[in-house]
Structure 1
């Protein structure tokens, strides 16, 4: 039976660290720490994008973590209308940003974006055996 947990966060810079801690706490509680560092980094990147680009003022974003067999899926849903642009190659070395989603898609084993009537869900899947 899959394990699942979700939590909403306000559009605030402090929410990125809170989302990362939330995800790590769930994975530690479930004994799913094999890819913990990768997952924490990716939650940070997706939450940062939600705060900077995806969440309209006064609204929240939602982080969902699902562990099912050897898979861990992270999802970040926001209500914004900004279309997600995934970089297809290396970012200019002088650029101050633009590497987060590229890094997240490189670390995850599967990636996608699900569009909703309002907003979108950005998700990543990580394959790992449950820790003993």
Structure 2
């Protein structure tokens, strides 16, 4: 078993609010989490919420913050300038042929906690990942009340 040690560092960046920025943003996160055991999960979930910020808002810039705590817990925040709707924490699972709509389901399944904060300046969607992968929980329905989800309106 490999032991990882982290220094509680925080990294921030601002990316243009365009689809082509998603690849650059993913590479940035991969570099920050280069040796982290949950890097791939973090990049997947980050890609989902970053892409949602681009697709559902007209934000010219999208600030991103990553915090790696001393125990290896990762927290990622993506902030946009808001859209017509808030993120839906309880959306029905997409059918097998649907190409969109799996982002929140993935975030729920892989994160320790997640949520969003909506205020007059926009919306911040965030998630935390435990240092190790969570056990598979296939019995939980996609719209079950999720005590790990947090919604805050300022």
With the length of structure 1 as denominator, give the TM-score of the two structures: 0.85
Shift of 1:80: 1.6
Shift of 1:94: 2.7
Match for residue 76 of structure 2 among 54, 58, 74: 74
Instruction: Please give the per-residue CA displacement for 1:70-96, whole angstroms capped at 9, x wherever unaligned.
Output: 211011000023311134442122322
RMSD of aligned alpha carbons: 1.6
Does residue 62 of structure 2 align to residue 19 of structure 1?
no
- Structure 1 or 2, whichever has the larger Rg, is 2
Larger relative contact order (C-alpha < 8 A, sep ≥ 6)? 1
**What are the ranges of 5 or more consecutive residues in structure 2 without an aligned counterpart?**
1-6, 133-154
Q: Which is richer in helix?
A: 1
Question: 1:1-132 to 2 correspondence within 5 Å?
Answer: 2-28=8-34, 31=35, 33-54=36-57, 56=58, 59-70=60-71, 71-81=73-83, 82-128=85-131
What CA distance in whole angstroms lies between the structure 1 residues aligned with 2:106 and 2:131?
Answer: 18
What CA distance in whole angstroms lies between the structure 2 residues aligned with 1:68 and 1:14?
Answer: 30
SS of 1:92's partner is coil
With the length of structure 2 as denominator, give the TM-score of the two structures: 0.74
Runs of 4+ aligned structure 1 residues displaced above 4 Å come to none
